[in-house]
């Protein structure tokens, strides 16, 4: 029997979503990206991401510490590009400045520590993670896929994130501006 190749798709996939890496999804090399667990040219992923953002009914962009803390020379231009992208597609910006575990009740208060709960309670249909540490993004994206139908996008600083439905690696301000221009063209 031939087993169908695993695709990273919007959920809900179940209480414990399968880890994409364990299902055979591998990270792309430089110049490539991921869409639904398949390695594609970055240009194709940019098109898919722009299409999803242009057609989103309720989008969110979640910038994390790597962007918000302005820790490197490229953080400020990238943050400006993210703000332009949010404006172009009408996305809400939900900062995830500090997602270290705290003693809270995630059902009672929506917290950046629990992006899956934030997405679920706000009915976001598209969510972009940018500037979030890989280990946190992987877990959060897997939880989102497990319990929501949100289309997740990761604009990663280095390696792409295999748990996102669409993921770019080495996403800089220039790449984010290119997505913004495609969103504007699709909405025009």
Mean pLDDT of the chain: 86
Q: What is the percent of the chain with per-residue pLDDT over 70, rounded to a whole number?
A: 86
* Triad 105, 113, 20: Cα angle to 5°: 115
Model confidence at 95, pLDDT cuts 50, 70, 90, reads confident
Q: Is 177 left (phi over 0), alpha (psi -120 to 50) or beta?
A: alpha
Instruction: Using alpha carbons only, give the angle 120, 170, 100 rounded to the nearest 5 degrees.
Output: 45
Does the structure show a pLDDT above 60 at 111? no
Q: Which of 51-55, 116-120, 170-174 has the lowest mean pLDDT?
A: 116-120
Structure tokens at 100: 């270290």
pTM: 0.87
Q: What is the CA radius of gyration of the chain?
A: 15
Above pLDDT 90, what percent of the chain?
49
Query: What is the edge-to-edge ordering of all strands in the sheet holding 126-130?
Result: 38-41, 32-35, 166-168, 151-155, 126-130, 59-63, 92-93
Higher pLDDT, 120 or 22: 22
Distance between CA atoms of 162 and 151, rounded to whole angstroms?
Answer: 13
Tell me, what's the pLDDT at 129? 93
Q: What is the pLDDT of residues 3-51, one digit of tens each?
A: 678 778 777 776 677 888 888 889 999 999 999 999 999 999 999 999 9
For residue 121, is pLDDT > 60?
A: yes
- Lowest-pLDDT range, 28-37, 93-102, 178-187? 93-102
pLDDT tens digits, 49-74 = 999 999 999 999 999 888 888 888 99
pLDDT at 85: 98
Give the DSSP H or E segment for 39. strand 38-41
pLDDT at 42: 96
For residue 188, give both structure tokens: 């025009």
Beta pairing partners, 154: 129, 167
Alpha helices in 13-112 (DSSP H): 42-54, 65-68, 75-89
């Amino acid at each position: 029997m031939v087993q169908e190749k695993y695709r990273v798709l919007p959920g809900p996939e179940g209480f414990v979503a399968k880890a994409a890496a364990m299902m055979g999804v591998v990270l792309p090399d430089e110049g490539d990206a991921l869409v639904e667990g398949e390695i594609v040219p970055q240009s194709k992923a940019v098109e898919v991401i722009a299409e999803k953002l242009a057609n989103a009914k309720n989008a969110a962009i979640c910038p994390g510490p790597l962007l918000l803390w302005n820790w490197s020379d490229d953080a400020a231009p990238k943050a400006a590009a993210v703000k332009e992208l949010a404006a172009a597609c009408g996305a809400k910006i939900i900062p995830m400045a500090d997602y270290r575990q705290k003693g809270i009740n995630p059902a009672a208060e929506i917290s950046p520590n629990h992006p899956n709960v934030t997405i679920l309670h706000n009915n976001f249909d598209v969510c972009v993670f940018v500037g979030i540490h890989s280990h946190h993004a992987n877990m959060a994206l897997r939880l989102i896929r497990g319990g929501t139908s949100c289309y997740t996008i990761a604009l990663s600083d280095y390696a792409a994130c295999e748990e996102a439905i669409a993921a770019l690696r080495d996403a800089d301000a220039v790449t984010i501006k290119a997505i913004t221009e495609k969103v504007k063209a699709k909405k025009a």
